[in-house]
Amino acid sequence: MNASVKYISHIPVFEVILFRAVITLVISYATLKKRKVNHWGTHHKFLIARGLFGAGGLICYFYTLQHLQLANAIVIHYLSPIFTTLIAMLFLGERVKGIQWIAFSISFTGVIMVKGFANIELLDFMVGVAGAALSGFAYNAIRNMKDKEDADVIVFYHPLISLPVVALYLFIFPQSIVMPTGYDWLFLIGTGIFTQVGQYFITRAYQMDTAARISSVSYIGIIWGVLMGKFLFGESYHANVLLGMAVVLGGVFLNLRKS
């Protein structure tokens, strides 16, 4: 999904999100209808919260994907595990061991190293942090529904809420539409399909284990970000940036081993 969004960085971010929401909404609706599952679920408060926070986090994340190098955008977004864990501890009563806080501190240090060495604009960095915080709230809404809602219903609410939110924004703040051409359509469709698959599995993961463990695993996406950035977009990274990423991953593996 990240690579698809990066490939079409010439298309406004809200247009990409709108197109993505339409695709995932159609897929989610068709999946639930085929399985004969009630589309609307029963825990509407948390379903809507998941959709709203997810929409906000997505907007911020797609913005950074189009304004930063791929790996750097992913690294900043992966502050979300720290927010996810804090929120789970405060609102869901999940216990976090002392060694896990050390692990998160190590990962956070790595993120700061990447920010410091990558010469990232403060605005872009703050938008990324805001997206991570919103994602943390969205993941905790999912965690709260671990035994209460079908995973496909939770996934369905993401585009169901995102679509009107983005449409309302475009209505209030009109933007020029960039008509996709050629391979743009392929990457737009890919954005929706890859999102659908990824959202399903991450939803199931948060339903099956604690927020601290599952959120930390997502840091491994940094590796994919570096590899795709290098081989698909010809991006190069300073040795200190790579060191920062290694520090982030070190914190992740410590968390998984000790939690």
> Buried (b) or exposed (e) across 115-133, using 16+ Cβ within 10 A?
bebbebeeebbebbbbbbb
pLDDT at 89: 84
pLDDT at 252: 74
Of 213, 237, 214, 216, the closest CA to residue 225 belongs to: 237
pLDDT at 258: 64
| Identity at 46, one-letter amino acid code | F
Q: How far apart are CA 83 and CA 57, in angstroms?
A: 12
pLDDT at 59: 86
pLDDT at 30: 94
The number of angstroms, rounded, from the C-alpha of 213 to the middle of its chain's C-alpha atoms is: 16
- Per-10-residue mean pLDDT for the chain, 259 residues long? 84 86 92 92 91 90 82 77 82 80 82 69 88 90 85 91 87 83 91 89 83 72 76 80 82 73
pLDDT at 232: 82
Q: How far apart are CA 39 and CA 21, in angstroms?
A: 16
pLDDT at 25: 93
Specify the 3-state DSSP secondary structure of 134.
helix
pLDDT at 208: 83
> Buried (b) or exposed (e) across 55-91, using 16+ Cβ within 10 A?
bbbbbbbbbbbbbbbbbbbbbbbbbbbbbbbbbbbee
Do 206 and 80 form a contact (C-beta atoms < 8 A)? no
Q: Which two tokens stand for residue 68?
A: 């930063």
pLDDT at 118: 61
